[in-house]
Every structure is written in structure tokens, then in C-alpha cells.
Amino acid sequence: MTLALVNSDFDNRLRTALLLVAAFFGSLAIAALLWRWLGNRMARGRWVRPNYRGQPVVAVGGLLTVAASIIVTIAVTAALVIIEPGGHGVWAVVVGDRHFVLDRSPEPAAIAGGIAALMLLAGLGWLGYRDDTRGAIEHQDSLGGFAGHLRLSWQHRRLTTGAQKALGGLAVAFGAVQLATWADPSDWFSTAASPPWSIVTLLRGALIVALAANLVNLLDRVPGRATKAALAWWLVGLVPAAITASCGRGCFTQGPDAADWGVWAAGAVGAAAGLLRSELAEKHMQGDTGVNPLGAVLGMATIAMYSAALEWVVLVVLAVLNLASERWSFSRIIDAVPPLRWLDRLGSPYRRD
């Protein structure tokens, strides 16, 4: 008789770890292949702009990271739903004489979360693409940041593409946060249902998502910086949270469903990492097209897995960093701190001391 070993905590951690690895490396491979197949064809027209050294590069490389992220998000969401339709499905993994039962998210939560992730990727990617391709002339006169966009909008008596990106990104963030929080579509129009969110929760989450997108955008000034920062955020802040959330313990108290957001974030970060080598070689840059949705998904994964108390901490940190960027240059600060300067220039053949 075969011995069946069932350890729910271990099984959930194993399931989450397997999904994190598969999403990250799958997205990395897809993005790298897309650049290999399409990179040369993208070097044309308004898709090419001078980089920080004045060299012409593909300015919308983020199109490929968004495409790879969307492919992986759809695949992961489909896997979560198809494993066992309805209720809490399971994966059964047999290793030798051990039978591991891997619990998964409820189907409605997986569907709602996947749609929310796609909203952020497609919505923020499209807004960023418009800014990359139509806002180049506007940006020549702008000091950057929220204040710069608002001043420029006031001068031109119209919303610039940067202002449209900021306001549109906040609207998309609101929609994604509400969809992911109120996860069961069967309750949306039920008068008996009591929504598990408040206006404070919704506003806090939307601000975190929007500020995270803008912060990663602010770091996208030299090749690889935004991708390295996103990779650090995912590894340090989200991977441990996903493993902990899968067991429903610790300070990450949102429950096992929240761990799926670590997997969707893995797809976004993996796609950016797949283009890191060519980005450091200065063949392209992510542009707002790629870094805005990347930051938004990281922010969404953070609020999905963090407790309310930690969300307030994250919101304050993001707000301080965004406000600080209006006055101080992140590039100067990074160059003034040797370990940060070394990490910032790591892998770049053109940025050596």
C-alpha cells in the first residue's frame, strides 16, 4: 500500500514556489525570444529616440515585456482555473512514494485577479505607449514629474500625454483594485452581498498602485535601473510574502488567494529581466510602455499580500519617494553611494567608472 503524505502548509508553499519559478523563467524566455525575432523590425520611425548618451535606440522595448507578461498572465490564470473547475481545486504531485496535494485559489478569485492583472498591463502599457510616441516634443519643455506635467498642461491649456497617463493610470488602478478585492462576480449585483472593501481600502490601494508605477518610471533614466529595482522589489518584498501568504500566517494576512499575485508579478518582472541584457547593451529602452505596467503590477501584488498596517507603511514610503523626486535627482543620489552606484552600473559596458 502506497503511503500518502499530506502536509497542507508544505504543499501550498511548494505549489507557490513552483508557480513563481515557472512564471518568472517562462516570461523571461518569451520576452527574450520576442526581442530576437522582432527587435530589428522595431527600429523604425517614431519608435526610435536618442537615449541618455544621444544614441538612437528603440524607445518602446516595453511593448515586448507587456506582450510576454500578458501571455504568462493568461497562461497562469487558465492553469489556476482549469486545474479543478469550481471551489478549491487541487494539484496532485507524486514524488516517489509521497503524494502531495497542492491547494489552489477559488476559481472566481483567480479569474478576477487575472483580469485585474491584464487591466494593469494593457491599460498602463497603452497609456505609456502614447506618452512614449506622442509626448516626446512635450517632454522637451517639461521638468518631469507630476509638477512638470501639471505646469505644462496649464501652459498649453490642455492635458499633456504625461498628465493623461497620470490620471488614466489612477483610474485603471481604481478599477483593478476594486475588481481584485471584490473577487466573486456572483456578488457584484447582489443586494445581500456585503462588499469586502471600504472607500479607504480602495483609495489606499489605488494610490499605492499608481505611485508604484510612477516610481519605477522615475527610475527608468539609464539602462537596466528600473528592471534591477523591480527585480529587487519582487525578490525581497514579494517572494517571501507569497510563500507566507500561501500558508495564511505571519504579517502577510491576506490569505492563500493573495499568493497568486506574487505569480502574476513574477511574469511581469521575468519579462523585464528577459530584455535586461539587450537593454544594458543599449539596443532599446523599456520606456513608459514597459515600466509603468511593471510598477503597477508590483504595487498591486504588494497590496494583495500585505496587511492593512503594512499597506499604510508602503503608501507613506512611496509618497515620500515620489515627492522627493520633484526636488532631488535619484541619479545623483545613486552615484553618491558606492554600493548603489556599483549595482546601477553592473552589466553595462558603457557606464563604467
What's the average model confidence in pLDDT over 249-275?
78
Greater confidence, 148 or 269? 269
pLDDT 10s digits, 69-115 = 999 999 999 887 775 444 444 444 444 555 444 444 456 778 888 99
Greater confidence, 15 or 305? 305
Domain spans, the chain: 8-345
Asked if pLDDT for residue 5 goes beyond 80, the answer is no
Pair 237, 266: CB distance under 8 Å: no
pLDDT value, residue 100: 45
Q: Which of 299, 214, 285, 231 is nearest to 51 (CA)?
A: 285
List the grid coordinates of 188. Answer: 457584484
pLDDT 10s digits, 49-69 = 888 888 889 999 999 999 999
pLDDT-derived band at 141, boundaries 50, 70, 90: very low
Q: Is 65 helix (H, G, I), strand (E, B) or coil?
A: helix
Burial 223-238 (b: 16+ CB within 10 A, else e): bbbbbbbbbebbeebb
What's the average model confidence in pLDDT over 216-234?
93
Percent of the chain with pLDDT over 70: 73
pLDDT value, residue 119: 96
Q: How many Å apart are CA 89 and CA 217, to the nearest integer?
A: 38
What's the average model confidence in pLDDT over 213-225?
92
Question: 92 forms bridges with which residues in the sheet?
Answer: 101
Percent of the chain with pLDDT over 90: 46
The pLDDT mean for the chain works out to 80
Q: Note the pTM of the prediction, 2 decimals.
A: 0.84
pLDDT value, residue 143: 46
Asked if pLDDT for residue 206 goes beyond 60, the answer is yes
Question: Among 24-38, 63-77, 110-124, 250-264, which is the least confidently predicted range?
Answer: 250-264
pLDDT-derived band at 186, boundaries 50, 70, 90: low
Asked if pLDDT for residue 158 goes beyond 70, the answer is no
pLDDT 10s digits, 305-327 = 888 889 999 999 999 999 998 88
pLDDT value, residue 132: 86
Asked if pLDDT for residue 117 goes beyond 60, the answer is yes
Pair 340, 334: CB distance under 8 Å: yes
pLDDT 10s digits, 294-303 = 999 999 999 9
pLDDT value, residue 11: 63
Question: 56 forms bridges with which residues in the sheet?
Answer: 50
Question: 101 forms bridges with which residues in the sheet?
Answer: 92
What's the average model confidence in pLDDT over 257-275?
90
Q: Where are the alpha helices (DSSP H) in the chain?
A: 8-38, 62-82, 107-134, 136-140, 145-156, 161-181, 199-219, 225-232, 239-245, 259-274, 276-280, 287-305, 308-325, 330-336, 338-345
